[in-house]
Amino acid sequence: MTDFTFARQNRNTRTLVILAAVYSGLMALVVLFDAAWWIVWLLALGTLPAVWDVIQNTRAGVQIDAAAIRWFTGKRQAEVLLQDIDFFRFDTRWDLSVRVSIVLHSGKRIRLPDESLPPHRDLEPVLTQAGFRVERHHFTIF
């Protein structure tokens, strides 16, 4: 089996551009439409987790080697031995995002954090090449 490693940092150009666009839009609400400041502050609250991630420069990623799959996001991390894994399940949600879960031989399902994973189209061939069964489920509720 070939090793696979993926990592990302939250302090990147894309995140900074999105935050700048959101704050520009909020300021436009105040300047152009004379929006109430308290409404703008309430809308800005939703951006605070992203601002915190940029300030902290958190990292997230996944590593697959011959023994285990390991993932980390911020200060949290976990691992599962490859011998315990039955298959990987890719669930396409109604918002077209794809959630990835590990299903163990015991039947337990472990959801991998979205921020730790590469795009699902890049991850699926790696898992298939490593000999894992990958199941796709489209537009499931659970």
Instruction: Say whether pLDDT at 142 is over 70.
Output: no
Which string of b and e fits 47-85 if b means at least 16 CB within 10 Å?
eeeeeebbeeebbbbbbbeeeebbbbbeeeeeebebeeb
**Same domain flag for 93 and 133:** yes
**Same domain flag for 122 and 86:** yes
Q: Domain of residue 32: give its range.
A: 9-56
> What's the mean pLDDT in 58-68?
92
**Same domain flag for 52 and 70:** no
Give percent of the chain above pLDDT 90.
77
**Same domain flag for 63 and 118:** yes
Query: From the CB of residue 123, how many other CB atoms can be counted at a distance below 10 Å?
Result: 21
**Same domain flag for 129 and 113:** yes
CATH, residue 96: 2.30.29.30
Three-state SS string across the chain, please? CCCEEEEEECCCHHHHHHHHHHHHHHHHHHHHHCCCHHHHHHHHHCCHHHHHHHHHCCEEEEEECCCEEEEEECCEEEEEEHHHEEEEEEEECCCCCEEEEEEECCCCEEECCHHHCCCHHHHHHHHHHCCCEEEEEECCCC
Query: Mind listing the pLDDT tens digit for each residue in 71-95?
Result: 999 889 999 999 999 999 999 988 8
Asked whether the beta carbons of 88 and 47 are under 8 A apart, the reply is no
**Same domain flag for 33 and 98:** no
**Same domain flag for 75 and 113:** yes
- Entry pTM: 0.76
**Same domain flag for 64 and 107:** yes
